[in-house]
Each structure stands twice: as C-alpha cells, then as structure tokens.
Amino acid sequence: MTVPVTKTLPDRYYLEHFQYLLSFVREKYVFVLSSEERHVIESFERLSTDARCLFVRLANRRGSLFRVDSIRYEEVPNLSGAIRELESAALAKLVRTPELLDLQQVAAPFTVAELKGFARTLGVGPCGTRRSDVLRTLSAQTNVGCLLETARTLSELVHLTVRHELEMLCFLFFGNLQDSLAQFVLRDLTGRRYFGFGREATLAARFVDRADVEAHFQFACLTRSFEALDLQEAAAVEQWLQTIPDHQTQLSPSARDAFEAVLLTAAQRLEKLGAFESAMATYRTINRPPSRERQVRLLTKLGKIDEARTLTESMLEAPRNADEHFFALDRKRKSIRKHAPASTRLKLRSAESVEVPARFRSQPEQGVIHVLSAKGFRCIHAENEIWRTLFGLLFWQLLFDGSDGHLHNPFQSVRSDLRTPTFAAQKADAIEDALRLLDDERAFFDHIERIYYDHYRTVQAFVSWQPNTLQLLAQCFRLVGGSKLQAVLREVTRNPRNNLSGFPDLFVYNDTHYRFVEVKSPNDQLSPQQLHWLLFFEEVEIEAAVLKVRWSEKRRGR
C-alpha cells in the first residue's frame, strides 16, 4: 500500500520514539535485562532533556565515534554541558586516549582527504587514493594512538560507549537487527496504522530467559556477518559455517526458519562454487525447500543414485511445497520414461490459445484483458491479491490474536508463527470457526465489511486496502460460492508461506459466469505453484484455465 507523505514530525520526535521503546522493553523484558542494559535505561531517565536529546541523536547515527564539530542540534544549545552529563552518566565520553578503540574506529568520522592530511603530518605514505588504501597504509605505518592525537587537532571526538547495549535493547524490541527507530519515523510521516499500538497489553515477550535472548542475538549477528562476506570464495563461506554454534535447536520456530534461509543461501553458493561436499553437508541441516531438491541433484552428480532415489521417494510421500511435489513426481516419471515431459509443460501443452494484438507484447495480461473485454467480460488483474485480501480479512482476528504469545511488538503485521509447519494443526479450531463464516453470505459480508472499516489502512501482511476491495470480494463470493472459497482458504492455511502465491493472473466474469485465467506468452512457463493451484481449482470445481497468447502479427523491424 502506498500512502502519500503528508505529515510533519513534531519537535523532539526521536526522543518520544526512543522513550517509547525503552518503556516497552522495560515492561516486557525486565526479567532478561543485563545490569549494563538496566544501567542505560536508568541513567537515561535521570538525564536532562537536552542530554537525552543528544544521546538519542548520537544513538541514531552510524558508528560509535563522532566528531564534536559535526554535532549541531538546535534543541541542544549547550552541547558541552550535554556531553558532560553523558560522561557523568557513563553513557558517552570525550576521547582522550585510544583505550578500547582501533584505528578503523578513529578514522571513521574523517574524510579521505582529512586522513591523507593526517598521514602527511605523521610522515606516512604513499597512501593511494581510495579510503581502503589510505587505511591500509596508516595501519601498516602508524598506530591508533598517533592517529588519535593527530585527529584531535582537527576535532575532539565523543565516544558513545553503550552502542552494544543500545543494539540489544533494539533487538529486544524488534526481534531482529534490521529494524530501527526509523520505523517510528515512517509510521509518523506516512500515517500508517499498526494494530499493536494502543494494544501493548496484548503483546508478549519474544524470549523466555536471558539464554534465549543471547542465542537469538548470536544467530542474528551471524546473519549480519554472512551478508558482509565475500561470496566469491568457497573458503570464506565454509569458514563462516564453522562459526555456527550447535544450539540452533534453541531457536524459536520462526527464528530457526529465518536462519535456515541464510544457510540455504550459503549452501547454494557453495554448490555454485563447486564445493559439493560442503554444500551437501549444509543442505542436510536445512528443512526449508529447496534443500532436498538440491540434495537430490547433487547426489546424482556425485554418482550416489540410490541415495538420490530414496530422498526423491521421501519428497513424493511428504512434499513440503508444490516445487518439491512436482520435482519428485517428474523425476520418478523420468526414471520410467527418460524423455517424459515435466508436469508444468504437459499442462501448458493442453492449454487454450488466444490471439492478441502484437502491440501488447510487453503486457500480455493487458492484451488478454483487451480481447476479453471486447467480448463483454469484466476483467480484474487480480493474481494473488484477491486471495491474499480474502485471507487477511477473513482471518483477521486469528492473525492478530495475541492471547497465545505470537505478537511481540506493535509494528508486527502478522503473528510470528504463521509460516511455521505447525500453524495449521495448532490453530485448526480457530481456522474452521473463521471458515464457517463462508457458509452464510450475510454473515460473511458483515464480517469483512466490519473488519475493512474498523481497521482501514492498518498495516497487515496481506490486505492492501484498495477502494474496490469489498465489491470485488462480494462478486467473487456470489460467482464462485462460499464452499469453494472455503476449500481454497483451507488449502492456503496448510502452507501460508507458499500457498498465498501462484494464483491465476486474471479474474474474468460477467453477470452469470466467471473464470480465473493464467496468461502465458509464447516464451513463458508455468511454475510448480501455479500448476498446484490450477489442479486444485479443477479438483474443487472452480473455473480456471491457462490461456496461451498468440500474437496476431509479427513484430515490425526497427
């Protein structure tokens, strides 16, 4: 959803945001806070308003070392006094000695030109032109103490000494290392609504004890360090993998799933670099698709045919998504008939075709809409949106149910366990209660209208709040029928991660008939997830088809 920026931020907005975060963390996580983290909270609360403002301003900057001559804020008129307060509170200090600092930290606040000037003063060189070259030369030919002494002739430096504690406090609030106080700024500028604000009492702590916090923080740091790796060298990836501790099982299901995504990228990179054994060992630690498919392909490449066949049978018996199912099915078919076509190609071969003007070559879906509209049909380029919106509105209470501890911070747009394998089984009763609303047209309309208007523009992972949302869902219900919509949504809940994608491109209808249409231009292929839904629609008797585009004229030469 795109919301125009129409608001201005109040004075000291950042202070209000930070104080909210600290208050939330103290309320929800007092039982896991370290003495250092408690010191930050308690010391901050004893500061004057000016010193608080300076502290938060520095906390929102990158790094932990700052030039005093670059710190200018109207709301902090007495800068030296505010710095002295932070020093007295042991939250920051003016740097006089290089204790606990390295050369990279001292160099960070200065430009390349300034660093080259320091080098000349110190009699160091030649330095080169790039920052990395200058730092390499300084590291080789001088030390951090000499650099600091020289740098202080240009500007005093202030060190935010509690950067780690601040990072941990933000981690406790957001549950990751990517989000920051910028989330509050975006909320205020865009006017976005979040379900959790004003309902903080329903939000639960994400972590059960300090060991749980430390384990999750460690894996979040590992994820960040992986993103900084040079992925051109297999040795670098293998070395990173060796830093992973054995206690992955201590992670929550959602955190484990997120870390598996990183492991999957690492394994795929190793495979691409030819480190097949390392890749295989990593794939074997991952439940998330396509780890088993990659294992089968690697086992085949390594000549371990029986092992590959056994794993393929396991995938066929209990596929984790549509990709696994059709990969295993096609592989078994090819073991019987070598040149058997893929399931997706078989479906595409039998599809109808439609002639579309060549001017729509870059927009085949629009071309099909043009053709079908001329025949009196109304066409909506719906793709996944109809189903995602229906899912989001129908299951609203379940997706934002904080009673079982799966909502942890007010910015969450959906419960944290939604994409875990156990979600459908654990919430089976609540799912069926919501699906029963589709038994009665009036009850269904009343429900989605109430949710739509009560929560309009509230950020949710699936609802985009389009002006025609209610009319479109009403038309879909009347033409498709509640029982068939029930079947689709029940299938979605079995695997929300994958099953909220792959739906046909178009919803085509008139007053009495409808059809969901997947559009394929001449060079397009069906994805396994698209095939999954086409076959499922056939099974529950929902009208759906693939339309292959045939251009009505050749492209003109340039």
pLDDT grade for 340, boundaries at 50, 70 and 90: confident
Residues 263 and 377 in one domain: no
Please list the alpha-helical segments (H only) found in 427-527: 428-435, 441-454, 469-480, 482-494, 496-499
Judge whether 170 lies within some domain.
yes
Residues 474 and 367 in one domain: yes
pLDDT grade for 181, boundaries at 50, 70 and 90: very high
Judge whether 5 lies within some domain.
no
The answer to whether the CB of 220 falls within 8 A of the CB of 171 is: yes
pLDDT tens, residue by residue, 207-249 = 999 999 999 999 999 999 999 988 889 999 999 999 998 767 7
- Which amino acid is located at 542 in the chain? I
Question: Phi first, then psi: what are they for 544, rounded to 5°?
Answer: -155, 150
Is the per-residue pLDDT at 552 higher than 50? yes
Judge whether 185 lies within some domain.
yes
Judge whether 33 lies within some domain.
yes
Residues 256 and 223 in one domain: yes
Which of 190, 223, 238 is at the close of a domain?
Answer: 190
Is the per-residue pLDDT at 558 higher than 70? no
Residues 353 and 339 in one domain: no
Residues 335 and 443 in one domain: no
Residues 400 and 299 in one domain: no
Which of 190, 217, 241 is at the close of a domain?
Answer: 190
pLDDT tens, residue by residue, 405-420 = 999 999 999 999 998 8
Judge whether 72 lies within some domain.
yes
Judge whether 197 lies within some domain.
no
Give the residue carrying structure tokens 């292959």. Answer: 548
Tokens, residue 23: 């208050």
Residues 50 and 171 in one domain: yes
Domain assignment of residue 61, given as a range: 13-190
Cα–Cα distance, 517 to 529 (Å, whole number): 15
Is the per-residue pLDDT at 2 higher than 90? no
Residues 247 and 278 in one domain: yes
Residues 396 and 454 in one domain: yes
Residues 507 and 370 in one domain: yes
Number of domains in the chain: 3
pLDDT tens, residue by residue, 280-336 = 999 999 999 999 999 999 999 999 999 999 999 999 999 999 999 999 999 999 988
Question: 532: buried, middle or exposed (CB in 10 Å: 19+, 13-18, 0-12)?
Answer: buried
- The pLDDT score that the predictor gives to residue 1 is 46
pLDDT tens, residue by residue, 457-516 = 999 999 999 999 999 999 999 999 999 999 999 999 999 999 999 999 999 999 999 999
Cα–Cα distance, 494 to 496 (Å, whole number): 6
Please list the alpha-helical segments (H only) found in 284-358: 291-301, 305-317, 322-336, 343-349
Residues 382 and 429 in one domain: yes
Judge whether 425 lies within some domain.
yes
pTM for the model: 0.90
The answer to whether the CB of 549 falls within 8 A of the CB of 522 is: yes
Judge whether 543 lies within some domain.
yes
Mean pLDDT of all residues belonging to the chain: 94
Tokens, residue 406: 């799966």
Residues 403 and 542 in one domain: yes
Residue 296, domain CATH? 1.25.40
Q: What Cα–Cα distance (Å) separates residue 201 from each residue in 181, 309, 314, 396, 403? A: 21, 52, 44, 18, 10
Which of 164, 190, 216 is at the close of a domain?
Answer: 190
pLDDT grade for 6, boundaries at 50, 70 and 90: low
